[in-house]
Structure 1
Amino acid sequence: MFFALVIALTALSGWAHYFTQSSGLQFVTTSAAIIMLAALLGRATENVAHYAGERIGGFLNATFGNAAELIIAIFLIKEGLFDMVKASITGSIIGNLLLVLGLSVIAGGLKFKEQRFNPILAGHNASLMLLSVIALFIPAVFLKQLKPERIDTLSLIIAGLLIIAYILWLIFSMITHKEELADQAVEEEIEEGQRWGKGFSIIMLVVATVFVAITSEWLVHSIEEVAHALGWSEIFVGAFVIAIVGNAAEHSAAIFLALKNKIGASVEIAVGSSLQIALFVAPTLVFVSLIFGKQMDLIFTAYELAAIGVSAFIASSISRDGNTNWYEGVLLIVVYVILGAAFYFL
């Protein structure tokens, strides 16, 4: 029944996208499909986490979600739309750190008075957030003092170092210090009748991610028309509207897991996804841009840097102790709304 409903809603949203001109109908049907795909993605992530641990499950969820964003960004780079790419990167980072983590912490905190995850992992995540802010901040500071070609060279150097740092982080966290950063035990386990096999869980994770990427693009297309009709600015649409709806399923998966007291997987999806965007996806796009003959630099606007900086600061402050409650989630959402209001009036 569950799989039939997912297939039916996905097919309906495809029909609305390709065979109707109504943005409203496209938005409603695609939103419904993404909600069901989100449930499938969350269930697949939960099953993968059962076999490989919460960190691996959350990491795979974030990676598949970011892979779709990487592909979309490559097409934007091919068209020379560097500013839109940077706005979407900004939106993804602050959306995951504030909106996804905030909603997950609230949802889990309302059901469980207190939720815990590995505090050592939280400390390392905070340090990596700081590294990403420094790496994006430095090129902007030296912009007026360097020639354009040297800015491009500096961007390449920083991009290369960030990729190396991220790869070494994966080795550190998944291999050499795997035990120290292991998941803490949770109270709730998957019921035997709902448990999938390891191979089937991975296949469902991949399939759900592929359809999430497709339907998210349909949703972005419809909401973008609605947003422009309402007179919203492109930077607001790119950094907030598209970032929210484009990652809707990934957001929902984190919330579903938090409701099952698996906050470790939720944090890995939210914080891990932001770190992956900042330390791997954005630097990779710098090198990818060379293929198309015009390099994208790492110069973000002051507004984007401010948004990323405050997001990293509050998320680090709240999650560093490896202990969360619903009120901390409220604080994250408040900061997100403040930034959204500022970008709206920009």
Structure 2
Amino acid sequence: MLKYLLLALVPVSLGLHYLEGQPVLVFLTGAAAVAVLADWVRRGTEGLAAHAGPAIGGLLNVSFGSVAELILALFVLASGQVAVVQAQITGSILATTLLGLGLAMLVGGIGREKQEFNPANAGLLSTMLILLMVAMLLPAVFDLTERSTATPGDALITDEQLSLGIAAVLLLLYVANLVYTLVTHRDVFSREEEEGGEGPGWSVAKSLGIMVAGTALVAWEAEAVSDALSATAEQLGLSTVFLGVILLAVVGTAADLFAAVVFAKQDRMGLAFSICIGSAVQVALVLAPLLVIISWFLGHPMNLVFHSPLDLFAIAGAAFIVRAVAGDGRSTWFEGLLLVGVYVMLGLAFFFLGPA
């Protein structure tokens, strides 16, 4: 019943938007509505995947996993707030690897001595995350090296051009990852897929209708949220970067975070781990490169150069923390609390970073 009541946020937020209500209320209700709609899109995708068979179902789940995040970022990008989109990318990685996984371990571990998950799958995902983080941090290292060693104007390639090249490579790796996980090494992931159940039990028509309607409403809400972003930051005395790295990121990943906690509580920690780290991999492998490429067509070119050392430290730190946690294939509630604590500390650092 609650999931139906929460849908009331959609007309409320859109009404406030078109009646030109308080920007803070428009932003908060719109962001909450995006999170609710993202969960419905996820459920619709699972319903359709249950009818499509394992291979196509896996492809659907992977491909539509970040649709709400992508749409929200595109509208913010279209308004010219490139720094906020970069912050959202950082925040999405932190939200899934630290907050989401931490909450899952914390909730799932209460009342249990430990929870176990497939160390082979966890090791594969965490290793992939580290490799992808290196790829994402490369443009920043290149920019720093170029500025410190080269004469201005002598660079053979710009940050934007390098980011485009890296984006193209990442998308090719995404295609290869689909082949690896869905075809050649599907048995590695079969255990987590079996744990996931058969979806909500909807028909194909209902699942597809909810996916289409939910995605359209997410786009509508994303426009309202992006329009109210700057005014909200000004009224609350916050930087737009902080709103991007914390609030927008959590909103975009809310469906995955909720699903991971639910599965962990059911002692399905392997599936919870796959959801959280798989979502972070999706951000690095698909979301970020797509935004780089699409930004050129929107007239607001975005690169993958994270100028703030805090961004670089946060992304790299999250990747190595996940790798350490995944090493033994076991988790406890205290490990989850530690992950959440690290996320809170990073959030405080971004809060006091100052306006951008």
- Tell whether the structures are fold-level matches, with TM greater than 0.5: yes
Aligned AA (2:119): P
Task: Give the alignment's TM-score, normalised by structure 1.
Answer: 0.80
Q: What secondary structure sits across from 1:232 in the alignment?
A: coil
Aligned AA (1:131): L
Contact 1:54 1:262 in 2 (8 A): no
Aligned AA (2:189): L
Contact 1:117 1:322 in 2 (8 A): yes
Contact 2:66 2:279 in 1 (8 A): yes
Structure 1 position 285, deviation (Å)? 2.5
Paired with 2:285 and 2:72, the residues of 1 have a C-alpha distance of 18
What does 1:1-346 correspond to in 2, within 5 Å? Answer: 5-19=5-19, 21-23=21-23, 26=26, 33=33, 37=37, 40=40, 44=44, 60=60, 63-110=63-110, 113-143=113-143, 144=147, 145=149, 147-148=154-155, 150-152=157-159, 153-184=161-192, 195-197=201-203, 200-201=206-207, 203-212=209-218, 214-215=220-221, 218=224, 225-292=231-298, 295-301=301-307, 302-346=309-353
Contact 1:42 1:257 in 2 (8 A): no
Task: Give the alignment's TM-score, normalised by structure 2.
Answer: 0.78
Q: How many residues are aligned here?
A: 344
Aligned AA (2:188): E
Paired with 2:158 and 2:44, the residues of 1 have a C-alpha distance of 43
Contact 1:42 1:252 in 2 (8 A): no
Aligned AA (1:333): V
Paired with 2:33 and 2:289, the residues of 1 have a C-alpha distance of 32
Contact 1:34 1:248 in 2 (8 A): no
Bigger drift between 70-79 and 166-175 goes to: 70-79
Bigger drift between 258-267 and 301-310 goes to: 258-267
Aligned AA (1:64): F
Paired with 1:286 and 1:213, the residues of 2 have a C-alpha distance of 19
Contact 1:108 1:326 in 2 (8 A): yes
Q: 1:275 to 1:264 in 2, by over 3 A?
A: same
Q: For each residue in 1:98-120, what CA deviation from the matched residue of structure 2 results, as whole angstroms up to 9, or x when unmatched?
A: 11222222222226554443322
Bigger drift between 11-20 and 36-45 goes to: 36-45
Structure 1 position 311, deviation (Å)? 0.9
> Which runs of no fewer than 5 residues in structure 1 stay unpaired?
none
Root-mean-square deviation (CA, aligned residues, Å) is 3.7
> Which runs of no fewer than 5 residues in structure 2 stay unpaired?
none
Sequence identity percentage = 38
Structure 1 position 294, deviation (Å)? 6.3
Bigger drift between 267-276 and 292-301 goes to: 292-301
